[in-house]
Amino acid sequence: MNLALKKEMNLKKEPLNRIPLRRFCLVFVLFTVVLFFNSKVYSQSKVVSLDMKNVSVEQVLNSIESKTVYRFLYNKQLVDVNRKITIVTDKQEISQVLIELFKGTDVKFNISGKQIVLSKSDKKTASESLRKISGIVTDEKGESIIGATVILKGTKTGTVTDVNGKFALEAPGNSQLQITYIGYAARVIDIDDKTSFNIALFEDSKKLDEVVVVAYGVQKKVNLSGSVASVNFENLGETRAVTNLSQGLEGTIPGLLAQQSSGQPGSDGTSITIRGQGTLNNSSPLVIVDGIVGSLSDVSPNDVASISVLKDAASSSIYGSRAANGVILVTTKQGSKDKTRITYNGYYGLQNPTFPIQIVDNYPQYMETINQAYKNSGNIAPYGQAIIDEWRANSPLDPIVYPNTNWFNAVFKPSATQEHTVQASGGNDKINYLVSVGYFGNNGSMPKTDFNKISFRANLNAQVTPWFTLGAILNGYNSTQQLADVSTYMGYISNSSPGTLPRSPDGRTGGEWAPGGSVQANNVFSNFDQTNDLLTTTRILGKLSALITISKNFTWNNSVSVTLNNGFEDQNNQPTQLWNFKTNTVLRNSGTITTTLLNSYTLYNRLVLDSYLKYSLKIKKSNTIDFIAGYNQEYEKETGTASTAFDLLSIETPVMNTATTPSTIKGGYADRALRSYFGRVNYNFADKYLLEANIRYDGSSKFSKDGRWGLFPSFSGAWRLSQERFMKDVTFIDNLKLRASWGKLGNNRTDDYGTQAIYKSANVVLGEIVTPGAAPSALTNSTLKWETTSMTNIGTDFGLFKSRLNIVFDAFYKLTNDILIKLPIPTVLGGLSAPNQNAGIVSNRGFEFSLSWNDKIGKSFKYGISGNYTFVRSKVEKYRGTVATYSGNTILQEGLKIYPFYVREVESIATQDKIDEMLAAGYKFYPSTPKPGDFIYKDQQKEGETGYKIINDDDRVVKGTSVPEDYFGLTLSAEYVGFDFSVLFQGIAGVNNYLNSTWYTNVLKNGSLINKKFLNAWSIDNPNSKIPAITSDDAGRNTAANDFWLQDGSYVRVKNIQLGYTFSKQLTKNIGIQRLRLYASAENMFTVTRFEGLDPEVSATDSYPNMKRIVTGISITF
């Protein structure tokens, strides 16, 4: 009853509660109004003049509210406000007016501050044992709850608590008090012979009335028939230092895998897959921000209210052609009616790479190791003993000339990150607003990778007329990113020598001068000096929407959205020098010969039109049918130009006009369009049986005229067993729902013009003149059409023990047909890029569950534990028959998982005896015969089979997987008198990474760094080592794809730890602060893994490592 009652109580403006979103807002508004009701003294008039004839009491109350500061609180079931009345007053005291108004009724009133509580007076006749009772209702922290409903159970007698949380009423001794308040678990208390009560209510975070945002609206969570997970991100901005909203999703949602594959500031979003990799191409989900297709990096973490993840076909098929990989719905915060709030959130912290690489940083040791590697390969050792000794003796004395550089530590330094956001929100009956502006600064741990962003948002809603509501969202950011070419720089770092000084105290960059040293050895600091590259992005997203209320249950929603993205990359390069500090001369020039300048502009714009009708039909009392029908169109265009010029007047004048050598200019263009029709029907019988059907009809410009349109239907149903009568006695079950769904989804992630052959520039110089030429640029497929995914889902939701324990379980089967893939084609077609084809079928099957337990111990210790686990396995059901495609060290073939590794198996480390023995036995080795210390690979063929005794790539076997199969997250949280603490664990298992490049190889190159692991390599003196001998020229003997380099990529990571303290409201209220919270938060602090690379999340060897980050923050609400 509580929700319905609340609605009736305070919300008299009928038109407002017509749509679910509105209802959602109102619940929220009411909550805030009551909770934060201002009880200060006001100077405004306490008198009122009225002249109203034959109107309802309600209208009179409204009129008083609009003319005075007073607000009424009452229960419609107790106070008859429909009574018609005529009233004329002239500047009368409010109490006089009320006496007049309720003359002759049983309504009494109580004025407290600016709040007037109306209740039924106790005129019970001859009540045998009625006595006055009173009490106070508080929350678990002991703070009073204003507006809680207190009734005698089973009657209509009751009251609401006043501003101090107090109530008083008369009751018979043998009755019970029932106390309800939205967002809190209801309590029933025996009165017995007590007259004074101190009642604490506990927050009920798992309320059955919880609503979640779904496609084109909101729905009560209990009434969902599809598979939707939602996270409340209201507090994300004041708890964690995520540098990109998508990081907040890691480990929090069953079925969703978010992994951060780069820690580079500004490029540190996560890649997200929902329920596994369903396709052979891009499998990232569709992101919808406030109803418009967008990106998670468009939204500041501070502005987010909630995120819903639509996982099954039934929930997402209304997004049709783009929903095959799931949909993420982001809803931003809205201003609340009546209450003005100003909030500041800010944090500051430091960060450092998660995994430093262990490299040989002692140069004499480096030289000896290189010498050994060269000797092992039969080559001449480059370093003489003299220089090794010289270095050893002198480096303690003169570290400038004789450095022992640890390049990883020299480049990556602790750096600062900070974010500051100010948010103001408020509103009244007609208008609400939320405005926020934020600054985010993330200094790179690597030089020249800083990122700065200023973002803003204005969300406005205005009720223009009772039937017309306008909404406006303006959101955007301006960011500057130092665009370091990280993968190249990582390459430079790995191709460096410990004998090179990064930078002398006077700023000059050192070169490799030791005799025998490689002159090619890099000094990445000279590259840092060479290049300035700054990307300035201005992105503006605007949405204007109009909601037309045609009738009480019939609305029409229209919107137009534009996105504008303007990018400007400004890069200039200048030559630098590497110094020999021994002779104090320039060793060599580095980088470009002349100064160069690159200016690149990109412009992206998009226009989206959206219009849909919603109709809600109530048949009798318990049958509801909701309809949605709509139209959507999108058009996107990208253009850009890039110009390069040389020989600037000076590097201080990096502008095209100062270039003395003419520039080259290039430009590009792309556009795409989508047009869609969609509809949905929901049927709800008594909140017991739920049925839903969706349909979408999409046309995309990317496909041929004949294959352009796709139809995507879905159906789902749910049965809430807990609502059945036969379940009534099972009291420990609050909610039990069975769900099933099936649907078809599409995927149009493919080239813009895949059906049209294009001749592009292929110019040539003929007779000293650049002569235009045009050549086919790519092969085309004129029959291209949608990729379709059909998905079946069954699931169940449990709420047990007063919703303290919640379990959600889902099992799914996803089959993707007509996969859009660029099958590799022979280069006899001139290396033209392959066309997309609808080829291949991939299945994904798996299950996921989440389990949460929230409870308290004693009065003030609250704790919670929630975990989720997902298993998903992919299988290529159909591909090119027995023909496989190889990509790196992976294989794509029918019947296998998606791209498992395809490697030789290492059997042993060779000794000379073993080699001789095998050669004598007639073994042949490819690419060449092993030397002692090399791998001996397993011969997979048995005697009599082709290839027996031939060890080559035919001995490769399928091993491991490149797509994670298990992922999980676990959150532990606790609260105690203002303190809150939580830990988030996240991990994956069932995945491998192939690690054999740059830092991870036994093939040592003079002038490249050596991983310390290889100091323990096999040698005659170290015959038990499993690590192949170091060498300078491997010729593929150890680097042929093999399982030694295949590493277990599983990990468990403490993604986030936080400790916060929220000051008592009573305490801060006195200094005008509603809420004050201090916190410390740490990201990526601990990781358990066997992976030896940069970071198991990053996996690549040339990416920017992920960061450990510790911040302290403050959140103040005025």
Partner 1 sequence: MKKIYYFLFFVIVLSSGCNDGLLDTRPLDGIGSNFMWETSNDADLGVAAIYNAVRLKEAFLNYGLNDGFTPIAFIMNSGSSFDEYRQYKFCINTATSSESIFKQKWSDLYKGVVRANDAIANLPKIEAIDSTKRETLLAESKFLRALFYFELLSFYSGHDKRDPGVPLYIEPANYEDAYLPRSNPGQIRALMIHDLEDAIPHLPFTAIKGRTNQVAARMLLGKVYLYNGDWLKASNVFGGIISNNNAKGNPYQLYSDYGKLFQLAGEDNKESIFVISNLPIQDYGGWADLLYSNRSGNCAGTNTLIPTTYLVDSYQKKDGSDFDWTAYKAANPAFSWDNKTEVDKLFATRDPRLEASIIRPWGLFVGTSNKTFEFRPTYDAKIPPAVAYECMRTSNSSNDHYGWRKFVNVGNETTIRRSSPTDWIIMRYADLLLLFAEAKNEAEGPTDSVHWAIDQIRQRPNVNMPKIKAGISQDDMRISIRNERAWELAGEGHRYGDYRRWYKYDPTFDMTTLNHVIKGFRGNPVNPQGGTRVFEVRNWQFAIPQSEIDLNPYLEPQNTGWEN
Q: Which of residues 845-884 bind partner 1 (CB under 8 A)?
A: 884
- Looking at beta carbons only, is 88 or 762 nearer to partner 1? 762
Residue of the chain from 548, 603, 681, 989 that contacts partner 1 (CB under 8 A): 548
Decide: is 888 part of the binding site for partner 1 (CB under 8 A).
no
Distance CA 997, CA 902 (A): 17
- Looking at beta carbons only, is 831 or 922 nearer to partner 1? 831
Alpha-carbon distances, residue 875 vs 746, 846, 906, 1024 (angstroms): 19, 11, 26, 39
Which residue stretch of 292-300, 327-335, 579-587, 1052-1060 sits at the interface with partner 1 (rule: CB under 8 A)? 579-587
Element (DSSP H or E) covering residue 1034: none
Residue of the chain from 12, 108, 503, 675 that contacts partner 1 (CB under 8 A): 675
Strands 149-152 and 176-180, by their bridges, are antiparallel
Least gap, CB of 513 to partner 1 (angstroms): 10
Residue of the chain from 629, 800, 807, 834 that contacts partner 1 (CB under 8 A): 834
Decide: is 613 part of the binding site for partner 1 (CB under 8 A).
no
Site for partner 1 in 341-400 (CB under 8 A): 374, 377-380, 382
- Looking at beta carbons only, is 662 or 895 nearer to partner 1? 662
Strand partners, 534: 482, 570
Q: Write the CB contacts of 795 (distance below 8 Å, at least 6 apart in sequence).
A: 227, 312, 738, 739, 740, 808, 809, 810, 811
Local structure of 753: helix, strand or coil: coil
Least gap, CB of 223 to partner 1 (angstroms): 30
Residue of the chain from 39, 394, 409, 594 that contacts partner 1 (CB under 8 A): 594
Site for partner 1 in 908-927 (CB under 8 A): 926-927
Site for partner 1 in 981-1010 (CB under 8 A): 1005-1008
Local structure of 398: helix, strand or coil: coil
Which residue stretch of 661-669, 812-820, 858-866, 990-998 sits at the interface with partner 1 (rule: CB under 8 A)? 661-669
Site for partner 1 in 737-796 (CB under 8 A): 752-753, 756-768, 770-777, 779-780
Q: Write the CB contacts of 77 (distance below 8 Å, at least 6 apart in sequence).
A: 5, 8, 156
- Looking at beta carbons only, is 507 or 831 nearer to partner 1? 831
Distance CA 648, CA 662 (A): 10
Q: Where are the alpha helices (DSSP H) in 460-522?
A: 486-494
- Looking at beta carbons only, is 65 or 671 nearer to partner 1? 671
Decide: is 644 part of the binding site for partner 1 (CB under 8 A).
yes
Decide: is 503 part of the binding site for partner 1 (CB under 8 A).
no
Query: In the stretch 696-715, what mask flags binding to partner 1 with x, by CB under 8 A?
Result: ---xxx------x-------
- Looking at beta carbons only, is 906 or 951 nearer to partner 1? 951
Listed residue (668, 745, 669, 748) closest to 701, CA to CA? 748
Residue of the chain from 315, 518, 747, 889 that contacts partner 1 (CB under 8 A): 518
Decide: is 894 part of the binding site for partner 1 (CB under 8 A).
no
Residue of the chain from 154, 396, 831, 922 that contacts partner 1 (CB under 8 A): 831
Site for partner 1 in 178-217 (CB under 8 A): none
Distance CA 575, CA 588 (A): 10
Decide: is 672 part of the binding site for partner 1 (CB under 8 A).
yes
Site for partner 1 in 456-495 (CB under 8 A): 467-468, 495
CA 1010 from centroid of its chain's CA atoms: 36
Listed residue (325, 280, 282, 258) closest to 899, CA to CA? 280
Distance CA 142, CA 223 (A): 34
Residue of the chain from 192, 1036, 1064, 1066 that contacts partner 1 (CB under 8 A): 1036
Q: Where are the alpha helices (DSSP H) in 395-536?
A: 407-411, 486-494, 524-530
- Looking at beta carbons only, is 625 or 757 nearer to partner 1? 757
- Looking at beta carbons only, is 632 or 1056 nearer to partner 1? 632
378 phi and psi angles, rounded to 5 deg = 75, 20
Alpha-carbon distances, residue 1049 vs 280, 295, 963, 969, 1041 (angstroms): 21, 28, 10, 16, 17
Q: How many residues bind partner 1 (CB under 8 A)?
A: 102
Alpha-carbon distances, residue 1098 vs 229, 263, 450, 1091, 1102 (angstroms): 26, 8, 19, 11, 9
Residue of the chain from 44, 174, 520, 1064 that contacts partner 1 (CB under 8 A): 520
- Looking at beta carbons only, is 185 or 823 nearer to partner 1? 823
Which residue stretch of 206-214, 407-415, 451-459, 512-520 sits at the interface with partner 1 (rule: CB under 8 A)? 512-520
Q: Taking CA 894 as the corner, what is the angle to CA 710 and CA 823, rounded to the nearest 5 degrees?
A: 60
Q: Write the CB contacts of 126 (distance below 8 Å, at least 6 apart in sequence).
A: none
8 A C-beta contact, residue 969 and residue 985 = yes
Decide: is 658 part of the binding site for partner 1 (CB under 8 A).
no
302 phi and psi angles, rounded to 5 deg = -70, -25
Residue of the chain from 270, 321, 971, 1032 that contacts partner 1 (CB under 8 A): 1032
CA 1096 from centroid of its chain's CA atoms: 19
Decide: is 414 part of the binding site for partner 1 (CB under 8 A).
no
- Looking at beta carbons only, is 176 or 782 nearer to partner 1? 782
Residue of the chain from 471, 510, 516, 846 that contacts partner 1 (CB under 8 A): 516
Least gap, CB of 826 to partner 1 (angstroms): 4
Least gap, CB of 1037 to partner 1 (angstroms): 9
Residue of the chain from 56, 195, 633, 929 that contacts partner 1 (CB under 8 A): 633
DSSP string, 651-712: TT--SGGGEEEEEEEEEEEEEEEEEEEEEEEEEEETTTEEEEEEEEEEEETTS-TTT-EEEE
Element (DSSP H or E) covering residue 94: helix 94-101
- Looking at beta carbons only, is 41 or 765 nearer to partner 1? 765
Least gap, CB of 310 to partner 1 (angstroms): 26
Q: What interhelical angle do 94-101 and 57-67 show, nearest 10?
A: 170
Decide: is 839 part of the binding site for partner 1 (CB under 8 A).
no
Which residue stretch of 91-99, 206-214, 432-440, 644-652 sits at the interface with partner 1 (rule: CB under 8 A)? 644-652
Element (DSSP H or E) covering residue 886: strand 885-887
Q: How many CB atoms lie within 10 A of CB 264?
A: 24
Strand partners, 259: 271
Decide: is 940 part of the binding site for partner 1 (CB under 8 A).
no
